[in-house]
Structure 1
Amino acid sequence: MNQPIKILLYYIMLLFAAQIICPIQGALAQQATIQGDFADPSIIRVGNTYYATGTSSEWAPHYPIFTSTNLNDWNQIGYVFDKTPEWISGSFWAPEYFYNNNTYYVYYTARRKKDGISCIGVATSKYPDRGFIDHGVIIEWGNEAIDAFVYNDNGQLYITWKAYGLAGKPIEILGSKLSADGLKLVGESFMLLRDDERIGLEGQSILKKDDYYYLFTSVGDCCGRGCSYRVRVARAKSITGPYELYKDNPLLSGDDEWKCTGHGTFVTSPEGKYYYLYHAYSKTTGVYTGRQGLVTELVWPEKNNWPKFVALPKPVAKDVTIKDNFNGNTADKAWQWDFRNAWPVIKQHGGQLHLSGMVKDGNASGIALTRRPYTVNYSMQVSVVNTNRAQKGLIIYGDANGSIGVGVTNNTVEFWEVKDNKRNVISSATAAARKVDVKIVVNPDFTCHAYWKQSGDWKELTGDMPRTIDNLTPWDRSPRPGLNFSGPATSEAVFDDFTLTYHP
């Protein structure tokens, strides 16, 4: 082979390789629309403003509320429940926004305290982002009633839900008429769809377009490392059915960057376009960032044709730095805690955050005041201002029996971990009795490093082996970074200048 041909073949091979590699690199540079641990999202539009809420599981306050004017840039502005309703023990799942008769509704799933059964409750407000009043249980159905969705069919309200998920028989999506005030069921229930394949069926939503009602559902396993979620569609001439499944399902099942897509709801733009806000896991960060919020467009090619989703450009990932200087007298809305295992007292004044409170017996991790994780490549640091015998510092919190952190106790700085509810000090150093800066760095390989300083350069606290956050992933949520306090209720941690930097 002569030299010019060899050179030509060489450049052809380079071009071919670039075509293979570049799309993968581009996909890995995508980020979610609503980043970090925002499962089962629901969305409405009020004028030109969109509001979204999603599952909060065991984090309090419950059901975060985000707002946007363009479906791309979202800001958190509050919660549906700042305090836990008295009847609920946990599992705050799948909130559903609805608007009717000048009233905003959130239909939601939660576990009932008296018997541990998941029921559907409802709360109302005159505003989409605050002031929700709980009305308690609206649906209890055997061993489980979850995933409410409400539809207004020419003035008649209907509510649908998932039933029989724990009954040892095929799951059914059931429906019923609702009273005009949206607070109680009316008449007999009916079945819209049944999971005869026994693959999982939930997260339904309904649209009416031309001559058909379209029923969108999520099938497969929703959560965790073995998830298999995807979106199907069926349609009927009546809201009560019978529904015909689309032969080319699934309609949405992920792409090069995202997997386990599903459990969303629709909203129309001021221009009349249909958009679907749903959740998915990143194929890069997986369970460590949880199910994140994404948006796609729904179109019908022709009248009475089956619909299809059209992918929208996702935001390009970039460094994000969150600084909290604790200004003002109210803590930032993004902070949450595990309300089953800790009861924090949070005070903010003078540019400092004061954290104290009580924990459940056996909680070796202490109080974790956390934020939703965006990536698994980040660093966070904070100044611990006061000196006492309580543990004060930073934490990556999976659950009360699984966490890792760095903090100050008296004049000792400790890199520590909790496994199986037992606390172990990995490494320690002696500090002077004054302000201590502490830092945690998490790398893309999930390894975790701890540092401290009082002046000069950072000093690493090293252990006998590398530590990772790999064991800190509860089934339905991700491990979270944040502040930590563990000590007597009469004591406190005082923090200054918190910084959290995410890298794509």
Structure 2
Amino acid sequence: MRKFCLLVVSVFVLFDIAAQGSAFFENPVIKGDMADPSVIKVGDTYYATGTSSEWAPFYPIFTSSDLINWKQAGHVFDEKPSWTSHSFWAPELFYHHGTMFCYYTARRKSDNTSYIGVATAEGTSLKFTDHGPLVELGTEAIDAFVFDDAGQLYLTWKAYGLDRRPIELLGSRLSDDGLQLIGEPFTLLKDDERIGLEGQYHFKQGDYYYVIYSAKSCCGPSSDYDVRVARSQNFRGPYEKYAGNPILSGGNGDFLSCGHGTAVETPDGRMFYLSHGYQSGDAFYLGRQPILHELIDTDDEWLAFKSGKHATIRQPVPFTGTAQLALADFNDDFSGKSLKVDWTWNYPYSSIDVTPGNGSLILTGVPSAGTKQGTVLCLRPQTTSYSYETQVGNTNGSLKGLTMYGDDRNMVVIGVQHNELIVKRVKDGRETTLSRSETESTHLFLKIKVSNGCMLTFFHSPDGKSWYRVNDTPLDGSFLVRWDRVARPGLIHRGRTNEPAVFNYFNLNHIH
């Protein structure tokens, strides 16, 4: 019988192999908020993507050769598919007959109902073309997964999550080109316990079809998400839920919760499950980060994780001779003709107009109807202690500078407007000016220092060398956490489009 092993991949730390006897890595393996990860292997390369929610571009894609060191390669979509509005959740990658598929959840523009669309890319080009919605059934259809059962493709998804009835996992035959459902949907598994049922992953081993799924609360400070398994001798069921569920959960001190993932097989037949997890303590403010664990089968033909029932940070590396690289700082001098792939922006609340190049970035945008807080360009935070800084390169009536951004109604800003240095807080839509002072510098340097994941201290400088603190007591930014995402550091422009912001550089440095 084939053996599976689950590994926990994380942080980016090098361990002394000689002293340890073997090499280890730390979870999370992809740092920063990227929930509902999907992972596949094509050739010698692993590909992963995950939820982007209310941030553009849509669905970041990462690549790796060893499952523990990942590099962002792009996004599934640079522009929203025409049928969608927002809430870009739970993408699932699938490779079939030389084509890479992405099955994804988004809200339909006509009624804001969450349904499932599909996009394809030739080979591993990562240049996806959208084919529109595939599943438009019921009051909601989310969390797609594709399973190949001896040549017959099936699509499964979560249904009835918004109805007064138990949630179900539904399935349907899928055409060989992966673009159409065939026949009537059927039920695979029901949430009879009323504890949740989503984020499913299917595979077959021996006589059994297994479905790994997640239950309980996915998101926010009270998340208690966990991972469970059921099995059947027929793909269509009926499925038996494991009496030993959950098989992976938080609560051991390393992680608050974990769940919603997919598994990938290594060349030697081991299986590694990539899911998301909220870390405990201050690292909660980094969001739902991708974590890796090795999956194994048990003597009674059920499944377990090699490191036990609790998600853990420290794990042995999947492949001998590999080591986890240290986390790098982020620096952008805006010399390129296009934005670096790391940047994200607040698409539901503003259009964006950016012009990088020649050592500066011009940023502006038009707020969406009913919003007023401006356009932001942000990064996913990856550690709990860091600082980020910029130099404002122009003077006008717009407010421009640095932000820690939750959404249009929840953010913190330090910026320059005319000849004034201003610090503002927006909480639940209510705006408060925390500090306002005149400045003689026309090209002021600004910095925000983050500690404990959410404590913010503001600085300004006339030359980028001598820094002056604005607030004596750090500002608590914990209120910036949204239900399904966390705050992001970055740049902001708030004002008219003919009064843009100009930034001369942006640096984010991790504090060790």
* Normalised TM-score (structure 2): 0.89
AA aligned opposite 1:291 = R
| Structure 1 counterpart of 2:278, from 266, 281, 287 | 281
Match of 1:258 in 2: 255
| Structure 1 counterpart of 2:107, from 92, 111, 126 | 111
Match of 1:491 in 2: 499
Match of 1:124 in 2: 120
| Aligned pairs for 1:35-434 within 5 A | 35-128=31-124, 130-254=126-250, 255-285=252-282, 287-302=284-299, 305-311=301-307, 312-313=315-316, 320-434=328-442
AA aligned opposite 1:411 = N
Deviation at 1:287, TM superposition (A): 4.4
Unmatched runs of 5 consecutive residues or more in structure 1 = 1-28
Deviation at 1:445, TM superposition (A): 7.0
- Measured in 2, the distance between the counterparts of 1:419 and 1:471 equals 8
Deviation at 1:428, TM superposition (A): 2.3
| Structure 1 counterpart of 2:470, from 461, 467, 476 | 461
| C-alpha contact 1:31 1:317 (8 A) present in aligned 2 | no
AA aligned opposite 2:285 = Y
| C-alpha contact 2:286 2:453 (8 A) present in aligned 1 | no
- Number of aligned residue pairs: 474
- Measured in 2, the distance between the counterparts of 1:49 and 1:214 equals 25
SS in 2 for 1:91: coil
| 1:92–1:129 distance in 2 versus 1, CA, 3 Å | farther
- Measured in 2, the distance between the counterparts of 1:167 and 1:283 equals 32
| C-alpha contact 1:66 1:76 (8 A) present in aligned 2 | yes
| C-alpha contact 2:93 2:103 (8 A) present in aligned 1 | yes
- Measured in 2, the distance between the counterparts of 1:272 and 1:287 equals 33
- Measured in 1, the distance between the counterparts of 2:453 and 2:267 equals 43
- What do residues 63-83 of structure 1 show as CA deviations (whole Å, max 9, x unaligned)? 000111111111111100100
| 1:262–1:200 distance in 2 versus 1, CA, 3 Å | same
SS in 2 for 1:278: strand
- What do residues 34-83 of structure 1 show as CA deviations (whole Å, max 9, x unaligned)? 11111000011111111100000010110000111111111111100100
Deviation at 1:365, TM superposition (A): 2.7
CA-based RMSD of the aligned residues comes to 1.9
Larger Rg: 1
SS in 2 for 1:43: strand
Which shifted more, 131-140 or 431-440? Answer: 431-440
- Measured in 2, the distance between the counterparts of 1:343 and 1:325 equals 23
Deviation at 1:408, TM superposition (A): 0.9
Match of 2:10 in 1: none
| 1:179–1:317 distance in 2 versus 1, CA, 3 Å | closer
Match of 1:22 in 2: none
| C-alpha contact 1:224 1:287 (8 A) present in aligned 2 | no
Deviation at 1:360, TM superposition (A): 2.0
SS in 1 for 2:366: strand
Q: Which aligned runs of 4 or more in structure 1 are off by greater than 4 angstroms?
A: 314-320
AA aligned opposite 1:295 = L
Question: Highest relative contact order (Cα 8 Å, sep 6+), 1 or 2?
Answer: 2
AA aligned opposite 1:240 = R
- Measured in 2, the distance between the counterparts of 1:201 and 1:256 equals 25
| C-alpha contact 1:394 1:440 (8 A) present in aligned 2 | yes
- Measured in 2, the distance between the counterparts of 1:318 and 1:96 equals 28
Which shifted more, 174-183 or 308-317? Answer: 308-317
SS in 2 for 1:471: helix
Match of 2:12 in 1: none
| C-alpha contact 1:149 1:160 (8 A) present in aligned 2 | yes
- Measured in 2, the distance between the counterparts of 1:64 and 1:109 equals 14
| C-alpha contact 1:62 1:81 (8 A) present in aligned 2 | yes
Which shifted more, 100-109 or 353-362? Answer: 353-362
Deviation at 1:256, TM superposition (A): 2.5
